[in-house]
Structure 1
């Protein structure tokens, strides 16, 4: 997300940093570029105007102009104002209520409510250690109830059965009673969507909200719809007592207009963002980290948290001990490291969270792509166990067989083997306690995601 905006803003910020002194003219010139960048990112016009006015007021005041390092203070001002636009602080689910905490999911059809219901259930179950029940009150969309059942089974949440012959209010009330009897911590109610905002839909959801009195009413919106997302969110906020927003399909949105508009227009915080198709691809929305990321400063905290959560620590320690004692690092180990990197979203996802990556030349960015990781995994998967443990056996006809089996070329197989050989040499240099300490610090991550 924010790829285009980050590129534009990073260049504008770079110009500001390059100024020994700031004047009213160069501040206005920089803000003109920022304004254009925000408009191109499909940020709502009132939000852009308010943001530019606030930054300008602070930039031309004593706070910046009289400071010892005005350029650095200016960058700090832009970041702080971005944080304000995005929502000041991270806000999660409010658990300060008598269990079960009821979460009502609202939104238009196609925004991803049902999938997000499953993702939220998994998030609360895995990271908040909550006992979660889900129920579908969507009696209109074909197979909506069955879809939620499938999603619930995937994430290990309890699915409460409902039927298309029941009305949504009855479904909600019955599920709430069952959640109370079963001592559930959370009940998530998935509601029906429509292709557009209409009075009948709003009236139905409002009646359901009044009946089950949810602690949270979350508006689920597709980030890729940009400014329209903010306008739709405003319509829902006017009709319902919303407590927050969930942005979906954030990974496919290069502009970021929705994220930068929703909070200001609705007055409601963005609580979560969907960052991929997998059921664990739901993350809390951190305004300060997002602001840093937009300005090309990276998001190291999120990267560290992701490593902590997704890296298999037992495997990391086992591999560290193996290498430290001088045992051979095999292609099986290499394959395992590539799989763990892929589980974290791939090399490009990791690099996006590191400071300064937006300033890398396009040629370098193009080389660091996750297609190469998939290709390497395909090559290794086409090898026999013996070949993975004794790569020196892979010559001539074996290379041809592996290339044919993986859909790659003999040159690709040779490059992989060469890269693996280089890694082995590196491992020998780090053999001993020093290597073990380094491995433990990195959580077992090996620098294996290099492109062919």
Structure 2
């Protein structure tokens, strides 16, 4: 995500390395490179120029601070301006009404249906809501089936009328059912087209007029770049939507849509979505995104994801086992599963300051843990609970059961023992084990 832009900005900041102070000459050179980087990232030239003019004015207006180098000062200014360009502060969903009606709109292929499932899961697990998904795409039969599959995966009911070709009527009937059965969120997945056309626009506008939604979210494929911004403007002119959702941010995106869509339509980006997993939906925080673009990481989001997966009771049990030197393979497997739920491994590493750049060219598969889990699954319950039981013959059996070489099992056992020894050493440090505790 934004890898090319991040590299180009870093190169621009190097123009100021070794400079003792900010000057019109070195600022002009740096700003020129920043503007080129933004245009290459598919940012409209007018917006890129306006952005860099602000950066230049702020840089030349700054007082000299001896503790901060010119390049550090420029990074801070650019970070602040990027955050401002993307909306500055996060904007939450308006979900106070009962039921709250959320209309999902966008082009075909933008990820509307998958996002609808992700949003239902987010509101159910994070906001303790009872959502009802509504299949109002009357043209694509697979959309109804897809939504039902997604609903089944997250335990959310899907309302559909496969034989009805009136999207307005389907939406109205769904809201009646929601009220009758105590659903407090209604998420309506509407039809899309390959391009903006009058039929689609009229239909979604009619649904809006009929159900009066509290939220209208425009879902846009961020990989389509500046075209996404133009499409957003066309939708907003007709629907006056309340927020934007950027999907496929884990793809080969140049970032122009994320940077300029707020500026163009003056509507906040409310969510960013990556991958197909239904728990990979994040609230959009402009400042955090600016930090990630500039290679500063995003520790806050990383911690929040961890907190969502690790509860206080689990943490206390784990701390007790670590203190008693009883951490076993069942505990280890449980930790792996919790980490996997946090999202893409490469994405998580990218949130750690300084690490994102180091791993950008590495092929880090989300299946990296499968071999380890296979080895643990090949152990008997007694072996998982007591790793010291695993001798040479047992290792051979585990390797065979996991489809691994004996050297793989030996290496894994060695690494696991080293981890246990580290935990044992932490126990000898006052309060050491508490340092290992994940707080929920």
Give the direction of change, closer, same or farther, for the CA distance of 1:358–1:28 in structure 2 (3 Å limit). Answer: farther
- Unaligned regions of 5+ residues in structure 2, if any? none
Residue 58 of structure 1: CA displacement? 2.2
The number of residues matched between the two structures is 437
Residue 168 of structure 1: CA displacement? 0.8
Partner residue in 1 for 2:48? 48
Using the size of structure 1 for normalisation, the TM-score is 0.88
Give the direction of change, closer, same or farther, for the CA distance of 1:408–1:232 in structure 2 (3 Å limit). Answer: farther
Give the direction of change, closer, same or farther, for the CA distance of 1:409–1:252 in structure 2 (3 Å limit). Answer: farther
Partner residue in 1 for 2:380? 384
What aligned pairs does 1:83-102 form with structure 2 within 5 A after superposition? 83-96=83-96, 98-102=97-101
2:422 counterpart (420, 426, 433):
426
Q: Is the 8 A contact 1:136 1:145 kept in 2?
A: yes
- Unaligned regions of 5+ residues in structure 1, if any? 445-452
* Stretch deviating more after TM superposition (123-132 or 399-408): 399-408
3-state SS of the aligned residue for 1:336?
Answer: helix
2:332 counterpart (331, 334, 342):
334
Using the size of structure 2 for normalisation, the TM-score is 0.91
Partner residue in 2 for 1:8? 8
Partner residue in 1 for 2:435? 438
Instruction: Give a deviation string over 1:313-333, Cα, whole Å, max 9, x none.
Output: 3232112112212x3322222
- Output the CA distance in 2 between the equivalents of 1:194 and 1:88: 32
3-state SS of the aligned residue for 1:190?
Answer: strand
- Output the CA distance in 2 between the equivalents of 1:255 and 1:397: 53
Q: Is the 8 A contact 2:349 2:356 kept in 1?
A: no
What aligned pairs does 1:291-440 form with structure 2 within 5 A after superposition? 291-325=290-324, 327-345=325-343, 347-360=345-358, 366=362, 372-392=368-388, 394=390, 396=392, 398-431=394-427, 434-440=431-437
Residue 400 of structure 1: CA displacement? 4.1
Q: Is the 8 A contact 2:137 2:190 kept in 1?
A: yes
3-state SS of the aligned residue for 1:306?
Answer: helix
3-state SS of the aligned residue for 1:430?
Answer: helix
What aligned pairs does 1:170-249 form with structure 2 within 5 A after superposition? 170-249=169-248
Residue 182 of structure 1: CA displacement? 3.5
Q: Is the 8 A contact 1:247 1:273 kept in 2?
A: yes
Residue 87 of structure 1: CA displacement? 1.1
Instruction: Give a deviation string over 1:61-110, Cα, whole Å, max 9, x none.
Output: x2x255554624332221111011111210121235x4222111101111
What aligned pairs does 1:4-153 form with structure 2 within 5 A after superposition? 4-16=4-16, 18-60=18-60, 62=61, 64=62, 66=64, 68=66, 69=68, 71=70, 72-96=72-96, 98-153=97-152
- Output the CA distance in 1 between the equivalents of 2:142 and 2:266: 34
Residue 340 of structure 1: CA displacement? 2.1
What root-mean-square deviation, in Å, do the aligned CA atoms of Structure 1 and Structure 2 show? Answer: 2.5
Instruction: Give a deviation string over 1:385-408, Cα, whole Å, max 9, x none.
Output: 333344455455544443343343
Q: Is the 8 A contact 2:133 2:186 kept in 1?
A: yes
Residue 311 of structure 1: CA displacement? 1.5
Residue 18 of structure 1: CA displacement? 4.3
- Output the CA distance in 2 between the equivalents of 1:243 and 1:407: 52
Instruction: Give a deviation string over 1:379-432, Cα, whole Å, max 9, x none.
Output: 322333333344455455544443343343332222111111211221221226
Q: Is the 8 A contact 1:316 1:439 kept in 2?
A: no
3-state SS of the aligned residue for 2:141?
Answer: coil
- Output the CA distance in 1 between the equivalents of 2:419 and 2:49: 52
Q: Is the 8 A contact 1:145 1:162 kept in 2?
A: no
Residue 181 of structure 1: CA displacement? 3.4
Residue 239 of structure 1: CA displacement? 2.1
Give the direction of change, closer, same or farther, for the CA distance of 1:425–1:56 in structure 2 (3 Å limit). Answer: same
